[in-house]
Every structure is written in structure tokens, then in C-alpha cells.
Amino acid sequence: DQQVKQNSPSLSVQEGRISILNCDYTNSMFDYFLWYKKYPAEGPTFLISISSIKDKNEDGRFTVFLNKSAKHLSLHIVPSQPGDSAVYFCAARRIGSSGSARQLTFGSGTQLTVLP
Amino acid sequence: NAGVMQNPRHLVRRRGQEARLRCSPVKGHSHVYWYRQLPEEGLKFMVYLQKENIIDESGMPKERFSAEFPKEGPSILRIQQVVRGDSAAYFCASSPVTGENTFGSGTRLTVV
């Protein structure tokens, strides 16, 4: 049972345009969401996160939007650059008082290709 | 300030052998997590450890797999009697008490 879904395995955009990566989740217990970026042969790198008490978080060219009622979040990258080409993973976790809630549940990833 | 160090980067084992994967967390991080990534899939949680304690091993197969994070030294993920289906990338992450996970570059295990 996939609790975090990224339905688009790949996305291509032109340099300078906006990239929009989407993610859906099913578990209502998730209340903290993260995006990671991964290059081949490297580990995932944290990009940006959002708590469920917010609907938007912005950091430079990266903005994450959360629609809690739809259980949907998206990552916007604008303007897109060729160096942004990578696999982007959506992840979720429950914030809890016990340590066992710290694990992340990942989506299957979206390969973003930014064309020069 | 070194990040999470995993070794080896690549590991080839024959069916039935043992695989040992090592992870040194970021200095000062007391939480370690192991994840497995199969081809074309996302990372799947396996086990969460703090020093000398397993906090959550709900994602780890009950047989052949074990993990430890001793008081001194790296965290070890051990797979006994490996099978072809164990071939995957294994990622370790560490975090402080509060803060985001920092991932290592992974160990790519190939079982032949």
C-alpha cells in the first residue's frame, strides 16, 4: 500500500520555465512533508519542507504548496535551471513525541530534466 | 564537517554469503536510519536506531537482517545468506535530536 504517491515518473521543462512536481498521500496521520533531490550515485539531499499547519513554504526558487483537504502537495521550481535535473522525492512523516515517528515514507520519485 | 559516510560504496556478494554495510553518522547526530531502494522505486524505511538501542525495526525483514549502532563505532546493517532479491541500494541517514535527516551516498549491493 503506497501511502505517498508520485504519479509522474518523469517531467521535462525548458530552462527558465516553471517546474511543477506533484505528490499525493493517503495517510491522514502525516503532518510534515519534505522534498528531497537526488543525483545518480548520491544520497538524497533535503530541499524544503512544510508542516501541515501551513499551506505554503518558500525558499528561493523553491516553493512547496500543501492542500491538506486534497492530501496533495506540489513543489514549484522557478526559474528552472539545467542543474536542477535530478530525481525529486516527496516524503512524509508523522510528528510525534516518541522517536518512532521520525521515519520517512517516500514516494517513488520524479525524474526532472531541464532542457537548455 | 563530514557528512554521513557509508562504506563500501559497492558490494558484490554471492548467494548465501553475508553482507555488512557500515554507516558513520554526522558527528553529533545520535539517530541513525537505514533505508533500502529497489530499482525504479522510492526509499523504503527499514530500521531506526539510537546509540545501543533499536527504536523501530518495523521495516526490516524478520529473518536474515539485523542492525546495530554500538556505543563506539559505526552503525552496521548485516544481511545473512543473501539472495538475489537483496540487490538494492542501501542508504543510511542520521539526524540530531531535532532536525532533518542527512543521507549518505549509499551502498549498492549486488548479489550474484
pLDDT digits 0-9 by tens, B20-75: 999 999 998 989 999 999 987 889 999 999 988 999 999 999 999 999 999 889 99
> Smallest Cβ distance to B42: which of A45, A103, A108?
A108
* pLDDT for the residue B41: 85
B101 within 8 A of A92, measured Cβ to Cβ? no
CB contacts of A109 in chain B (<8 Å) are: 42
| A86: nearest Cα among A112, A109, A64 | A112
**pLDDT < 70 positions in chain A:** 1, 96-101
Q: What is the pLDDT of residues A56-82, one digit of tens each?
A: 999 999 999 999 999 999 999 999 999
| B84: nearest Cα among B2, B32, B13, B27 | B13
Euclidean distance between CA atoms B67 and B76, whole angstroms: 6
> Smallest Cβ distance to A106: which of B4, B40, B43?
B43
Taking the Cβ of residue A1 and every Cβ of chain B, the question of whether any pair is shorter than 8 Å is answered with no
| Residue B102 to residue A41, Cβ atoms within 8 A | no
* pLDDT for the residue A101: 58
* pLDDT for the residue B50: 92
Taking the Cβ of residue A34 and every Cβ of chain B, the question of whether any pair is shorter than 8 Å is answered with yes
* pLDDT for the residue B1: 52
* pLDDT for the residue B97: 79
Euclidean distance between CA atoms B88 and A10, whole angstroms: 21
* pLDDT for the residue A96: 65
The residues, ordered by sequence, that sit 6+ positions from A109 with a Cβ below 8 Å of its Cβ are A6, A9, A38, A87, A88, A89, B42
Euclidean distance between CA atoms B74 and A39, whole angstroms: 25
Q: What is the pLDDT of residues B69-108, one digit of tens each?
A: 998 899 999 999 999 999 999 999 999 877 788 999 999 9
* pLDDT for the residue A46: 93
Q: Scanning every residue of chain A, which has its alpha carbon at the shortest distance from the alpha carbon of B100?
A: A46
Taking the Cβ of residue B88 and every Cβ of chain A, the question of whether any pair is shorter than 8 Å is answered with no
